[in-house]
Amino acid sequence: MKVFVTGASGFIGSAIIKELIAAGHQVLGLARSEESAKAVSDAGAEVLLGSLEDLDALKQGASQADGIIHTAFIHDFTQYQKAGEVDRTAINTMGEAVLGTDKAIIVTSGMLGLPPIDGFITEESSAENSPRTSEATALALAEKGVTISVVRLPPSVHDRGDKGFIPFIIAMARKNGVSAYPEEGKNHWSAVHRLDAAKAFRLALERGEKGAVYNVVGDNAIETKKIATVIGEKLNLPVQSLSGDDIVKHFDWMGRFITFEGAATGNKTQEKLNWKPTHPGLLEDMDQHYFGG
């Protein structure tokens, strides 16, 4: 199968390229710069120059491929609404390009902030009120007949080279001289190793069902206090609870997200895709790869 991958040079997309090629697929990777194009090419994929806002490139990629994995997203939390609009337009453009075919599309979404069911975010948790519209856009296309499904990722997709939430939390600890957690630190985050996530994307493409939602979870529930404790130990900093405005002062733009309850399960996903996480969990990965040396 020839697979069109957006965000191909990114943290997750680059792992997906390797996973797809190792499984015998060909890859056409979207790259928005010469530097990204080189990374995609070096990984063994064909390059299509363009960005998420280049709708002609998206149509071209969709038409040349047998399937699509959409991982690109503009992670600018100061212009989140605009990033969502670009994402929605990109998904609709690719969806309309393959309407009437059996080409499968896998759309990436998140699960942090979704309503828990019996304490955990499950595949049945609704994304109806989520500020990120990726999932809602995909499911609307499924109702029109597009073979499209959603891979939900937890707040931490971790591995060496991570530039997401956890490195930001570490940076804030270094900056402020304290490793902090919100309130009692009893709220949870879920996580998955990048290589486990890449395999789940491939399986969703190969085996996924139209309109399906997959929760790709390795660690189901890690207390934020435990994350702060690892950071404090590695940086030799005090570990401290914060509340109220102090949470925002310490965590900056992430002050809202760090307080969410993010415990999640993916039992149905594991069963449907025959997928099991096999790589190290977040705390072990942090200990080994997140502090240099």
The per-residue pLDDT for range 136-194, each reduced to its tens digit, is 999 999 999 999 999 999 999 999 999 999 999 999 999 999 999 999 999 999 999 99
Residue 293 reports pLDDT greater than 60: no
Domain that holds residue 31: 2-154+191-219+264-278
**Integer Cα distance of 39 and 43 in angstroms:** 6
Region 94-100: mean pLDDT is: 96
Q: Does the residue 120 lie in any domain? A: yes
Q: Does the residue 119 lie in any domain? A: yes
Residue 130: pLDDT band (50, 70, 90) is confident
- Average of per-residue pLDDT values in the chain: 95
Q: Does the residue 180 lie in any domain? A: no
According to the model, what pLDDT value does residue 77 have? 67
Q: Does the residue 242 lie in any domain? A: no
Percent of residues, the chain, with pLDDT higher than 70: 99
Question: Looking at the 3D structure of the chain, how many domains does it have?
Answer: 1
Note the pLDDT tens digit of each residue in 33-83.
999 999 999 999 999 999 999 999 999 999 999 999 999 987 776 777 888
Q: Does the residue 21 lie in any domain? A: yes
Q: Does the residue 291 lie in any domain? A: no
Q: Does the residue 259 lie in any domain? A: no
According to the model, what pLDDT value does residue 48 have? 97
Which CATH number is 9's domain given?
3.40.50.720
